[in-house]
Amino acid sequence: MALPRKKFIAGNFKMNTTSSEVAAYLEVFRLETDKINDIDIVLIPPFTSLTKASEILGGAQKIRLGAQNLSPEAKGAYTGEISAAMLRDLFVRYALVGHSERRRLFGESDEMVRRKLVTALKSELRPILCIGETLEERQAGQEKAILESQLRTALEGLSAEEISEVVIAYEPVWAIGTGLTATPEQAQEAHLFIRDYLGKMAGTSVANKARILYGGSVTPETARELLSQPDIDGALVGGASLDPRGFAKIVAAAVPADEK
């Protein structure tokens, strides 16, 4: 039997919060989560707020920092881009790749997502690979084919060890910022499919250890039931992460009942 996987909760602030607002946020959030242990917590503010957040956290083990994006290039004449080395210099340890908004609004292809993921791994950043289907794809019964295609393109050719460094975030596009949420049963079905596919790619051991997050209008009210599903190992939270107290409640929902 696989060992229990440590829960993982990430808050993606998107294009919200200035550096002064992040400072105020952290003051509240650290107090609210002070007694919560054994949960991996990652905050993903905008690039402009990472320096302030890094100064406050000082490389703290309890709350890690993530980036919303990164360049696939190491350095050079790429105006407006942010490299992995720049992020590592700020004690950033995770990077989102393939978020649905990057795919949809900025035209990032599966191949571009793969390049960013490989760059992150080479730079010792742990990628959070976002995959998910649109409403039209789900209604057409194509959701599993879409998930398989996105996973295969992003991970094919990587070693089992490299794949084990990737956190997967299943985000049904139709449930992001819409107020809609996949039912716990729908989410569990997708997560189990992803885990099974990882097993085919990298072996049962890697699949059993892989942490697969749910993202899509997660709130303090929906978190506990979602996180109680056997193959849901955490959450990638968007809008609800902007309220430090509300986000702390989502983190608390990940704590196993026997540890409270």
CA–CA dist 91, 1 (Å, integer): 35
CA atoms within 13 A on the CB side of 247: 27
- The per-residue pLDDT for range 121-133, each reduced to its tens digit, is 999 999 999 999 9
- Percent of the chain scoring above 70 in pLDDT: 97
* pLDDT (average), residues 161-183: 88
The confidence band for 58, taking pLDDT boundaries of 50, 70 and 90, is confident
Q: What share of the chain is helix, strand, coil (3-state, %, to 5)?
A: 50, 15, 35
For the chain, domain boundaries: 8-259
Selection from 15, 63, 2 nearest residue 242 by Cα: 15
List residues with catalytic annotation. 99, 171
Q: If you count them, how many residues does the chain have?
A: 260
Predicted model pTM: 0.95
Structure tokens at 29: 């959030």
- Percent of the chain scoring above 90 in pLDDT: 87
Confidence (pLDDT) at 217: 82
Helix (H, G, I), strand (E, B) or coil at 252: helix
Per-residue pLDDT for 221 more than 70?
yes
Give the CATH number of domain 8-259. Answer: 3.20.20.70
Per-residue pLDDT for 2 more than 70?
no
Concatenated DSSP letters of 20-43: HHHHHHHHHHHHHTTT--S-EEEE
CA–CA dist 119, 110 (Å, integer): 14
Structure tokens at 210: 């892989």
Confidence (pLDDT) at 102: 96
* pLDDT (average), residues 197-215: 96
Per-residue pLDDT for 142 more than 80?
yes
CA–CA dist 8, 27 (Å, integer): 21
Per-residue pLDDT for 67 more than 90?
yes
Confidence (pLDDT) at 1: 46
Name the residue with tokens 């998107």: 14
Per-residue pLDDT for 10 more than 70?
yes
